Amino acid sequence: MAPANRNPRVLVCDELASEANEIFRRHGCELETRLGLDEAALIHAVVGFDAVVVRSATRITKAVIAAADRLRVIGRAGVGVDNIDCDAATARGVVVMNTPDGNTLSAAELALAHLFALARNLPRADRAARSGWKKKGLMGTELTGKTLGVIGLGRIGGAVAERAIGLKLRVLAYDPFLAQATESPVRGVELATLEQLLAASDFVTLHVPLNEHTRHLLSRERLAALKPGARVINAARGGLIDEAALIEALDRGHVRGAALDVLEEEPPSATNPMLARDDVILSPHLGASSDEAQRNVAIDIAEQIVGFLVDGVAKNAVNAPTADAATLRRLAPYLKLAERAASFLAQRLDEPLARLELELGGEFATFDPSHARLAVQVGALRPSLGDAVNFVSAPRLARERGLELLHAPERGAERPALALVAVGRSGRRHRVAGDVFAGTPKFTELDALRIDLEPEGALLVTRHADLPGVVGTVGTLFGRHAVNIRRIELGPIGDGEALGLWSLYAVPSDAAVAELAALPALRSVALVRF
């Protein structure tokens, strides 16, 4: 809480609805709005402020956070927090909040608008009406009785599904975290495998985050598995669809049309073939572009920041559970260790998680264990659900997806700070253990292998033949693709095989990973991002 002799000071760095400003003033906050600041200007501007509010334009870097002498909370009026250095904020005891619910309806309604536009060829009809009132080639289709496939049944996907049921569509839904569920969380929606959904749907709409597991989710093979004549909608993230493969499927007539609010390259180049197609409807990333959505996220972030500054309640905290700044600074490296361990296991397992088993030791075990549990849940869920996961939403999302977290009693100071086991739906298990050294979290064990690995950046995990020359072959391949290796951890895992952990300075290209996976000595390749 702010000292009793002064009111909290709030710096607003991007345009914010007037209702949000009124909330700050009503609760005694001193408000200052300064727009368009670059890093150098922000470093001077943040001095003396308790809170900073941004949307997507302003970047809050490590240098800005280091310069902020009083900063306690950063508020993002929106979902994504990639413009905020959350690790640096956590290390300084600064809470980062987002507003994951404010644009839900706006995004869902945009997907439905694209659904109607695809069904009745509305953009083409508008052009035809303006150039001679021509109806030829504009025959549409009714939605009633058709099948809509919803990929991702989270907040936005669920809202789309609910409304589609009201439109008398049959709705199938696929969500890997609901693979073992017997009943859909949305009444009237039928759960299906991805293969079943693709084969049966007249329209398919995507509502998942973009990550290593979902990039090109609609690949050439999956587009070919679509029901002939199906139409595709993507109002989630560019990169979920292989755009080159989509163009091929449209050319063949296998896919009848597509509506895209997002593209792999935004804004697209003038030569992007999507721009010239009549069977593709485009909009310039408008999911959150409604008066109501912008007003909602502004009000939400203002109320959340006031709640934290005045009452000490951190709602929708992205980077930390509720704790005072001093405790948070001590906790920070351990929270990072727990989150990164869970994220690593969730990405490496490559199947839905069923259970996590957590053990704590050393200094980590002296804190409230709820902090560690929350960090583990966030780390496990964020690779698949994105920024919708935070330290408030994680327990609910874990319950909805049947993710069980077991916490054993503390094991004593001589044990690693953390040991975490992930169990997949098939029963496959992986374990990682780690500790904090001079403020830096490191993995020290992976299954039966002793390692010394800082979980940062991009990490390739390889299982390969334990033979001479494999490391040199991989290194040569990386060299051809200009991939710089930061550190290598290697060790035998039995049956003539070895495990390789390749820490990289940057995320390798899809081509580099594909070429690596094709090497005869390689048994498996997984890309993990932290």
Catalytic residue among 130, 142, 187, 266: 266
Angle value at C-alpha 471, between 470 and 474, nearest 5 degrees: 85
Tally of helices (H runs) and strands (E runs) in the chain: 16, 22
Catalytic residue among 76, 92, 231, 237: 237
Task: Classify 18 as helix, strand or coil.
Answer: helix
Is 190 one of the annotated active-site residues of the chain?
Answer: no
CB 232 within 8 A of CB 240: no
Catalytic residue among 34, 59, 163, 285: 285
Please give the C-alpha separations between residue 296 and each of 19, 55, 371, in angstroms, as whole numbers: 9, 13, 29
In what helix (H) or strand (E) does residue 375 lie, and over which residues does it extend? helix 369-385
Amino acid, single-letter form, for residue 371 = H
CB 207 within 8 A of CB 115: no
Is 237 one of the annotated active-site residues of the chain?
Answer: yes
How would you write 101-131 as a 3-class SS string? CCCHHHHHHHHHHHHHHHHHCHHHHHHHHHC
Please give the C-alpha separations between residue 56 and each of 40, 83, 129, 266, 291, in angstroms, as whole numbers: 18, 7, 38, 15, 16
- In terms of Cβ atoms closer than 10 Å to its own Cβ (0-12, 13-18, 19+), residue 40 is exposed
Following CA atoms 382, 387, 391, 395 in sequence, which dihedral angle do they give, to the nearest 10 degrees? Answer: -60
CB 402 within 8 A of CB 345: no
* The pair of three-digit structure tokens given for residue 30, joined into one six-digit string: 């001193």
Q: What is the DSSP string of 207-230?
A: ----STTTTTSB-HHHHHTSPTTE
Secondary-structure breakdown of the chain: helix, strand, coil percentages, each rounded to the nearest 5? 35, 25, 40
Closest CA to 78 of 109, 108, 51, 57: 57
CB 435 within 8 A of CB 362: yes
**Beta bridge partners of residue 431, listed in sequence order:** 421
Show which residues are catalytic: 237, 266, 285
